Amino acid sequence: MSNRTPVVWLVNEGGHDYTSAERLGRLMPITTGSINPFNTDRLMLLASHRLSTAIEDDFLVISGSPLLNALIVAMWLKRFGKVNALLWSHRDEEYKLVTVLDSVVTKHALGEQKVAP
pLDDT at 83 over 90: yes
**How high is the pLDDT of residue 105?**
87
Bridge partners, residue 37, by sequence? none
Determine, yes or no, domain membership for 117: no
Predicted structure pTM score = 0.88
What percent of the chain has a predicted confidence (pLDDT) above 90?
74
Does residue 57 lie within any of the structural domains? yes
Domain assignment of residue 26, yes or no:
yes
What does the radius of gyration of the chain's CA atoms come to, in whole angstroms?
A: 15
**Quick one: DSSP state of residue 90?**
T
- Is residue 9 within 8 Å of 62, Cβ to Cβ? no
Asked, for residue 68, whether it belongs to a domain, the answer is yes
Contact 84, 59 (CB under 8 A): yes
The secondary element (H helix, E strand) that includes residue 50 is helix 40-50
pLDDT tens column, 16-56: 899 999 999 999 999 998 988 899 999 999 999 999 999 99
C-beta separation of 8 from 22 below 8 A: yes
Asked whether residue 11 is assigned to any structural domain, the reply reads yes
Domain holding 14, by residue range, is: 7-109
For residue 116, being part of any structural domain is answered with: no
Provide the domain count of the chain. 1
Query: Which residues make beta-bridge pairs with 98?
Result: 85
Please state, in angstroms and rounded to a whole number, the distance separating the CA atoms of residues 41 and 47: 10
Whether residue 72 is contained in a domain is answered as yes
CA dihedral 46, 9, 33, 45 (to 10 degrees): 10
